[in-house]
Structure 1
Amino acid sequence: MTIATPHDHRLRLGDGRQLGYTEYGAPDGRPVCYCHGFPSSRQEAGLLHQAARIEGIRLIAPDRPGYGRSSDRPGREIHDWPADLAELTERLGIDRFDLIGVSGGGPYALACLAALPARIGHCALICPLGPIYLAPVRRAMAPGVRASLSLARRLPGLTDRFYTGPVPALLAARPEVVARLRYRNAAAPDRAVLDRPEVTAALDRTIVDAMREGAHGARRDLSLYPRPWGFEPSHIDQPISLWHGDTDNTVPVAHAHWYARHLSGCRARIVHGEGHYSLPVRHGHRILKGLITVHD
């Protein structure tokens, strides 16, 4: 098995935009595409690099438009993402691949399942954000988050103003501001992994990357999540392994229960005593091994 150090790449898409991506794990391993969270970037997948190497997985992590090294795409929708991922994998010579969607990347992974069913084998969703455009799902969120999402839905211009000007530059220069908020809101299992310098450093890098081009991706995602996504999640019937911690304070476990009820191919694993960050850090091997086992 070939082992390599992760390297950043950029691909010019057919419409002229740049798509940034990084490959982790084993270069000649089973291809798995990674949909990063919010606000984040391709570098988030670095937390699974060692696990992917051990499990023989070629983990391909692209930046969504407006994040990291990817050009912005004004007016994009969640259901536009599959076309970018399809072009990337085709250019890499990959016909069929597996998929991971983490947190705010969950809706994007589901969009790919809806649009590219013949090209995706299995999908793992890790603490995925549910369809918060539905009132029962939105009500499961913490009151402060729920209020912010409602504000973004009703007054998108206000969100744009917050994520323009000095704010993105401040967050890019001082990621510890976000780190402090992350830690303050975290459950005990999450604080345990956030106390590990390498984990916090990796998450800080994703914030810097997410904000480097003016937070266009974050602004757009915040306006898209609370609106219909352009496809119906309950129509998806491909095999999905869903992993969620029962102490997750960021995306409530109620979202996992909604998916388990409405996705016919979904097998939910609610992991006791794990949170939003501790789950992928502590169980990355299990999650990746599950992608392999389902094919064996």
Structure 2
Amino acid sequence: MPSPITDSIASEPIADGTCTLNDGRRIAYNFSGAMHGYPVFHLHGWPGSRTEGSLFDLQAAELGVRIIAIDRPGIGLSTPHSQRTVLDHALDIRQVAKHLSIKEYSVMGVSGGGQYALACAFLIPPEELRSVALVCGQGPVEVSLRGMKWGNQMVVRGFQYFPTLILLLMHGTSWILKVSTMNRTSNERIFETFQTLNRWSLLGLVEKDRQVFAKPDTLLVVITSVREHFRQGVEGCLAEGRVTTSTLGFEIQDIKRNVRLWYGRKDTDVPATIGEEIARQLGKNATLRLEDESHLSLVINQQRPILQDLLRSAMRRSLLQ
């Protein structure tokens, strides 16, 4: 297998498997961690893809967890699904689990995967879905954006109120990248550029995230994941924006199971206020953890306790059945 650092976006994509759904669509997935361990579906961020799950590889392997990270429709190698909702994707996950002969599993929604994890908690029966975690997970669009940095707020409000403008901006950016051949630039060159910008604090990252991005292995996973997100163009990304700035199709208060909530006090991408509001709406069904972390640092530095907590919650649920 080629090294991730030298792969270009034009290289042949690699997926550990694909599942053909009942409607003929295809969902691609990658495995990380312990190949015969307890299954946890990783719902990637935005922009992200199935390759993002490899961030958890080492800790998952040590804990006996098999990470199954899947591309959402229109992203990576998964077939687009027009007008999809977060609930539609929860049904996709159930079909992938059946395809893999998995009867019991957990779900972990990271960043932009947060709403999809909530949909799973609402829709999938507890005898099948044993535990659910949101890790700096995006909440419903109705939740306050207080504490979120202005750039992120502009993107959210843009999708809500000016979707045509976002569409034009994305297609324009895509055209510029193609003309400049940046879409074919090697991961190695992107890596070097990113590290230079990070070294001079030109990316606007909070300190803890700067430290995480200074780690070559982590940065390469992020670069690969983002590039795979745009493999089919910008339409999948636009669909993500539309879905995550629409109503969920259910009320958080109607979730009748415990949801584990992990948020960073220093996070300005998906601020802790979002986790606190989700916890408020879940009431007794919420277990909220606030850590002294920022966005990506929470995902990297708290992997072990997050996975351990998911496992304990899943086992406790099994004992109660």
Other-structure match for 1:80: 88
Q: Tell me how far apart the structure 1 counterparts of residues 305 and 83 of structure 2 sit (CA, whole Å).
A: 37
| Aligned with residue 116 of structure 1, among 112, 124, 139 | 124
After TM superposition, the structure 1 = structure 2 runs for residues 128-277 of structure 1, keeping only pairs within 5 Å, are 128-134=137-143, 137-164=144-171, 167=174, 170=177, 172-173=183-184, 176=190, 184-264=203-283, 265-272=285-292, 274-277=293-296
| Aligned with residue 40 of structure 1, among 21, 40, 48 | 48
Q: Tell me how far apart the structure 2 counterparts of residues 125 and 18 of structure 1 sit (CA, whole Å).
A: 25
Q: 1:176-230 deviations in whole A, cap 9, x for unaligned?
A: 4995599723211111111001111110001110011012221011122222111
Q: Does 1:30 align with 2:30?
A: no
1:183–1:194 CA contact under 8 A, matched in 2: no
TM-score between the two structures when normalised by the length of structure 1: 0.90
2:26–2:79 CA contact under 8 A, matched in 1: yes
Q: Tell me how far apart the structure 2 counterparts of residues 288 and 183 of structure 1 sit (CA, whole Å).
A: 33
Q: Tell me how far apart the structure 2 counterparts of residues 96 and 15 of structure 1 sit (CA, whole Å).
A: 23
2:107–2:133 CA contact under 8 A, matched in 1: yes
SS at match of 2:203: helix
User: 1:83 deviation in Å?
Assistant: 1.2
Other-structure match for 2:11: none
User: 1:172 deviation in Å?
Assistant: 4.4
| Aligned with residue 20 of structure 2, among 5, 9, 12 | 12
Other-structure match for 1:56: 64
Q: Tell me how far apart the structure 2 counterparts of residues 7 and 73 of structure 1 sit (CA, whole Å).
A: 19
Q: Tell me how far apart the structure 2 counterparts of residues 208 and 143 of structure 1 sit (CA, whole Å).
A: 24
SS at match of 1:11: strand
Count of residues in correspondence between the two structures = 288
Q: 1:123-155 deviations in whole A, cap 9, x for unaligned?
A: 111001122234xx1344223322222121122
1:30–1:58 CA contact under 8 A, matched in 2: yes
Q: Tell me how far apart the structure 2 counterparts of residues 48 and 189 of structure 1 sit (CA, whole Å).
A: 18
Q: Does 1:92 align with 2:96?
A: no
Shift in alpha-carbon separation, 1:99–1:48, aligned structure 2, 3 A: same
2:86–2:115 CA contact under 8 A, matched in 1: yes
Q: Tell me how far apart the structure 2 counterparts of residues 138 and 25 of structure 1 sit (CA, whole Å).
A: 34
- CA RMSD of superposed structures (Å): 2.3
Other-structure match for 1:282: 301
SS at match of 2:260: strand
Q: Tell me how far apart the structure 1 counterparts of residues 202 and 237 of structure 2 sit (CA, whole Å).
A: 20
TM-score between the two structures when normalised by the length of structure 2: 0.83
SS at match of 1:23: strand
Q: Which amino acid aligns with 1:127?
A: C
| Aligned with residue 75 of structure 2, among 67, 71, 86 | 67
Q: Which amino acid aligns with 1:144?
A: G
Q: Which amino acid aligns with 2:231?
A: R
Structure 1 consecutive aligned stretches of length 4 or more whose deviation exceeds 3 Å: 171-183
User: 1:289 deviation in Å?
Assistant: 1.0
1:186–1:249 CA contact under 8 A, matched in 2: no
Unaligned 5+ residue runs, structure 1? 1-5
SS at match of 1:263: helix
User: 1:169 deviation in Å?
Assistant: 8.1
Q: Does 1:106 align with 2:114?
A: yes
Q: Tell me how far apart the structure 1 counterparts of residues 64 and 219 of structure 2 sit (CA, whole Å).
A: 26
Larger Rg: 1 or 2? 2
Q: Which amino acid aligns with 2:167?
A: D
Q: Tell me how far apart the structure 2 counterparts of residues 168 and 66 of structure 1 sit (CA, whole Å).
A: 19
Shift in alpha-carbon separation, 1:77–1:84, aligned structure 2, 3 A: same
